[in-house]
Amino acid sequence: MTEKVAAPGGFHKTDVVIIGAGPIGLFAVFELGLLDLKAHLIDILDRPGGQCTELYPEKPIYDIPGLVEVTGQGLTDRLMDQIKPFQATLHVGQMAESLEKAGDGWRITTDAGTQIEARVVVIAAGGGSFTPKKPPIPGIESYENTSVFYAVRKMDRFSDKIVVIAGGGDSALDWALNLQPIAKRLVLVHHRDGFRAAPDSVNKMRALVAEGKMEFHVASIKSLRGAEGQLQGLALNNKERGDYEIPGEMLLPFFGLTMKLGPVANFGINLHENLIPVDTSKFESNVPGLFAIGDINTYPGKLKLILSGFHEGALMAQQAFRYCRPDEKLRFQYTTSSSSLQKKLGVA
């Protein structure tokens, strides 16, 4: 990733904060950047792309203008390349949790304690924040955030520990491969000997198992054993072996994600069926300075398509400029013919 990724915590000041680094939040960085507006992006996921990378990274999309066919991941990669000149700051793995007035702008606070002040806030939260599906293991809550984690925010937390990863998708396999070199012992548990992950990752995992560098159990997790939030062992079950226990100090269940509107519902904005109604001349909500673009907004004729969100971002940026640079005149220019725009893009 070539963007600036900020460490969790700390205080930042910028022109525009964008909640959601899905395709629409990413393209908004471009439209704002053309007008010299600086942006910070926040996403609960640990990488940009929203639904495109989380739900269908390898599915082809056929209705992006000018691209006959592009995958969800391919589109995200291209958008990341396109916004590179504008050096947006990314706050990934963080939930935008609260929003309050700060002077004539806003202060956003994330669940990692990061505070960002900006004149304008753009909500590009799609269908809402992705939240992990929790496995139905009795008493799992008492180990959460000490021994059980649903995302890896800091790898060194897992150094020299007995790490158990549960799941059979890309996240489970990717993290098994990434944590194996630093864990004391790495165990992958999946209920069947088949995976929904990239074949290359599955092959790498099987090679590590064959070399005795990690373990793979075809089993389901029945219960956890430990005390005061410290996990010590996991009771597993498989058809042939029946019930048995393995040691484990850290558990990472990767059982997929669901989408929930989450904290945006408490931002004090008018909602209609969990969507934000907007004025289509600028994609502003009922609260001045708070905008909504992409799948999260609603208006007569709305289509939940990526191309609609791109247009919405362009109009939002025009109005955001008026808030951020009240004393400057907004001049409409084409990237093809404006040398100053081309300079910003690094192509002049």
Residue 312 binding ligand FAD, by CB under 6 A: no
Which of 1, 2, 63, 346 touches ligand FAD by CB under 6 A?
A: 63
- Single-letter code of the amino acid located at 50: G
The answer to whether residue 258 forms part of the interface with ligand FAD (CB under 6 A) is no
Report 154-193 residues binding ligand FAD (CB under 6 A).
Answer: none
Q: Nearest to residue 78, comparing CAs of 331, 310, 329, 314? A: 310
Beta carbon of residue 296, minimum distance to ligand FAD (angstroms, whole number): 6
Is residue 263 a contact residue for ligand FAD (CB under 6 A)? yes
Choose between 32 and 189: whose C-beta lies nearer to ligand FAD.
32
- Identify the CA nearest to 112 among candidates 257, 12, 15, 256: 12
Between strands 185-190 and 297-298, the pairing is: unpaired
Q: Which stretch binds ligand FAD (CB under 6 A): 172-180, 278-286, 305-313, 336-344?
A: 305-313
Which residue do the tokens 């992950």 mark? Answer: 197
Q: Decide: 62 and 72 in contact? Cβ < 8 Å.
A: no
Measured from each CB, the residue nearest to ligand FAD is 126
Residue 116 touching ligand FAD (CB under 6 A): no
Contact call for residue 22 and ligand FAD (CB under 6 A): yes
Q: Which of 14, 31, 33, 50 touches ligand FAD (CB under 6 A)?
A: 50
- Phi-psi category of 273—alpha, beta or left, where left has phi over 0 and alpha has psi -120 to 50? left
31 binds ligand FAD (CB under 6 A): no
Residue with token string 């969507």: 275
Position 96 contacts ligand FAD (CB under 6 A) = yes
Cross-strand pairs, 234: 224, 246
Does position 262 interact with ligand FAD (CB under 6 A)? The reply is yes
Candidates 18-26, 112-120, 163-171, 313-321; binding stretch for ligand FAD (CB under 6 A): 18-26
Confirm or reject binding of residue 42 to ligand FAD (CB under 6 A). Answer: yes
Q: How many residues bind ligand FAD (CB under 6 A)?
A: 37
State yes or no: residue 306 binds ligand FAD (CB under 6 A): yes
How many CB atoms within 10 Å of residue 293?
32
Shortest spacing between CB 289 and ligand FAD, in angstroms: 18
Q: In a 10 Å sphere around its CB, with 0-12 CB exposed, 13-18 middle and 19+ buried, how is residue 132 labelled?
A: middle
**Closest alpha carbon to 43 in 27, 20, 23, 65:** 20
List strand residue ranges (DSSP E) for 200-256, in order: 215-218, 220-227, 230-238, 242-247, 250-253
Tokens, residue 254: 């990767």
Segment interacting with ligand FAD, rule: CB under 6 A, options 30-38, 53-61, 221-229, 320-328: 53-61
Choosing from 6, 34, 37, 44, the residue that interacts with ligand FAD (CB under 6 A) is: 44
Q: Classify 50 as helix, strand or coil.
A: helix
- The CA-to-CA distance between both ends of the chain, in Å, stands at 24
**Residue 313 found at the interface with ligand FAD (CB under 6 A):** no
| Interaction of residue 118 with ligand FAD, rule CB under 6 A | no
93 contributes a contact to ligand FAD by CB under 6 A: no
Contacting residues toward ligand FAD, per CB under 6 A: 19-25, 42-45, 50-52, 55-56, 61, 63, 95-96, 124-130, 262-264, 294-295, 304-307, 309
